[in-house]
Structure formats: C-alpha cells, structure tokens
C-alpha cells in the first residue's frame, strides 16, 4: 500500500511537471517561435496561453512592437587617423509579425545582433573613414543620424524584409582631450565674435535712428518755412525777423562800415 502511494505521488509530480512545461504564455506585442530538437518549427503563436510538447519542444518570444536597441562604445577612425568613440547609438525599430519566421530562421531569435549591432559598427566606420575629424565632430554631425538610418534600411530591405528602422539617435563622440580643449576655445572665440557683431549692429542701428530723426526734423523745418512763404502773414513775419537780425548784427559791430575814398588834390602847372 505504501509502494502504491509512492508511485501515485511520483506520477502526480511527473504530470504536474509535464503540465507546467507544456503551458506557456506569449505577451501582447510578441510572437512565439518553437524549436524541437534544435530545429525551428514552422508554426508560430500569438499572445495568450498555449500548449507544447513538454521537455521536447522549447519556445522563444520575439517582440514585434517598437523597440530601441542601444549600441555602446563604438570606435571610429577618421580619415586623418584620429580615433574617436561614440558612447551610445540608439536604433528604434520594429518587426512586422508576418516576417518573424523568415528572419528568425535566417538570423536566429537574436537577429538584432547580426542585422543592427554589427551593421552599425560597419556603417559608422565607413562614414568616419572618408571624413575628417572636423566634419565628423562638427560640420556633418547632424547628418550622421539620417545617413545611418538610410544605410541600415537599404541593407535590411534586401537582407531582412520586414525589419523597419524608425529612427537612429547618435550621441556626440568622445575625442582626445587636447583636441576637445581646442574646439572649446574655438567655440568661445566664435561666441565673442558674435557678441561683438551684435553690439556693432546695435550701435549702427542707433546711429541710423539718429540720422533718420535729424532728417525728419530738417524736413519738418523746411515744410514749416514753405508754409510761411506761401502765406502773406508768414512772409511779413519772416521779413521782420530778417530786419531784426540785420539790426542786431549792426549793434554788435559785425556790419561792414563803408570807408570814404580820400580826395585827390590837383596841382595846376
């Protein structure tokens, strides 16, 4: 009787283990792929609870929603021979559900290592090798994101259709300390030049405003003088002011005094 109880207990434990191994769950936004004896099965499953052969069949869950892969510490050599490092490159991508089986079959469930991580290293080194440090670090840095995205998507369209690159984000690379200090000094000098240029523009604007004010004042005085000339009262007033001005000049001895010519005495011979 004791032996029968032990057998039942062992059988129950085995059945529970089989049931536990057979039942599995696929999360929303994922596709389940199955392996049996190391071979990929053609059947896939969507989100929810599913059954599989215990101890024989295994599964992996492949994400099909938007995800971000981070590639860290990517070395890059410029055309001038300077070695720089990109701390982090983020690749936002998603996998079309219908393409899961083909991509897993060709590149395994860890497809992103072969198709994204390795390609990022390759494309970035190709870009750096044909550009100088000045171009990579400053002049063309804003184009690296888009260039990487286009290069990745072009290769994936032929190698792994169904894997879509949504965006690529590249951080500023780390450059040698001495070169970095030179760039910082250069940026500081550029800032000083911009400030000086802005101050000069302000001074020029103020001078232009003063010239315009003076011109407007001159025009207003000319208009006032023309109005006075057109009216009889204005002309008389202007003549009176003119006479008063002349009289004032005389009193101040600025008016020229007419000198008399000396009389010539004639001598009769």
pLDDT at residue 144, as a whole number: 93
The residue to which tokens 């690379």 are assigned: 173
pLDDT at residue 93, as a whole number: 95
Mean pLDDT of 239-253: 60
Task: List the structure tokens of 248.
Answer: 């004032």
Q: What is the pLDDT of residues 45-79, one digit of tens each?
A: 999 988 888 878 889 999 999 999 999 999 999 99
CB neighbours of 136 closer than 8 A, spacing ≥ 6?
Answer: 76, 78, 84, 127, 128, 144, 173
Total Cβ atoms within 10 A of residue 12: 10
The answer to whether residue 18 scores a pLDDT higher than 70 is: no
pLDDT at residue 86, as a whole number: 93
The answer to whether residue 244 scores a pLDDT higher than 80 is: no
- The structure's pTM equals 0.62
Total Cβ atoms within 10 A of residue 140: 14
Distances (CA, A) of 217 to 206, 227, 234, 237: 17, 15, 20, 22
Q: What percent of the chain has pLDDT over 70?
A: 76
Q: Name which of 39, 53, 57, 41 is nearest 100 in CA terms.
A: 41
CA distance 239 to 94: 93
Residue with more model confidence, 147 or 4: 147
Please give the span between the terminal C-alpha atoms of the chain, in angstroms, as a whole number: 192
Mean pLDDT of 105-115: 92
DSSP state of 97: G
Residue with more model confidence, 224 or 34: 34
pLDDT at residue 15, as a whole number: 64
pLDDT at residue 171, as a whole number: 92
pLDDT at residue 185, as a whole number: 76
Residues in the chain: 269
Mean pLDDT of 80-105: 93
The answer to whether residue 127 scores a pLDDT higher than 80 is: yes
The answer to whether residue 250 scores a pLDDT higher than 60 is: no
Residue with more model confidence, 153 or 199: 153
The answer to whether residue 216 scores a pLDDT higher than 80 is: yes
Residue with more model confidence, 32 or 224: 32
Q: Name which of 31, 170, 155, 52 is nearest 105 in CA terms.
A: 31
Among 5-19, 138-152, 219-233, 250-264, where is mean pLDDT lowest?
A: 250-264
């Amino acid at each position: 009787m004791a032996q029968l109880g032990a057998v039942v207990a062992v059988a129950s434990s085995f059945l529970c283990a089989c049931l536990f191994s057979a039942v599995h769950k696929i999360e929303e936004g994922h596709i389940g792929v199955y392996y049996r004896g190391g071979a990929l099965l053609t059947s896939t499953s969507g989100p929810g609870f599913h059954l599989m052969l215990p101890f024989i069949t295994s599964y992996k869950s492949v994400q099909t929603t938007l995800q971000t892969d981070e590639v860290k510490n990517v070395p890059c050599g410029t055309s001038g021979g300077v070695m720089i490092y990109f701390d982090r490159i983020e690749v936002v991508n998603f996998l079309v559900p219908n393409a899961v089986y083909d991509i897993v079959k060709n590149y395994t469930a860890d497809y992103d290592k072969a198709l994204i991580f390795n390609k990022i290293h390759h494309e970035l080194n190709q870009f750096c090798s044909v550009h100088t440090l000045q171009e990579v670090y400053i002049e063309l840095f804003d184009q690296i994101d888009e260039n990487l995205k286009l290069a990745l998507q072009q290769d994936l369209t032929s190698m792994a259709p169904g894997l879509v690159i949504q965006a690529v984000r590249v951080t500023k690379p780390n450059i040698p300390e001495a070169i970095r200090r030179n760039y910082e000094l250069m940026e500081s000098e550029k800032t000083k030049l911009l400030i000086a240029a802005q101050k000069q523009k302000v001074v020029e604007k103020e001078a232009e405003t003063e010239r315009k004010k003076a011109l407007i004042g001159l025009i207003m005085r000319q208009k006032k003088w023309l109005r006075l000339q057109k009216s009889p009262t204005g002309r008389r007033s202007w003549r009176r002011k003119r006479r008063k001005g002349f009289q004032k000049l005389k009193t101040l001895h600025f008016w020229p005094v007419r000198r008399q010519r000396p009389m010539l005495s004639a001598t009769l011979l």
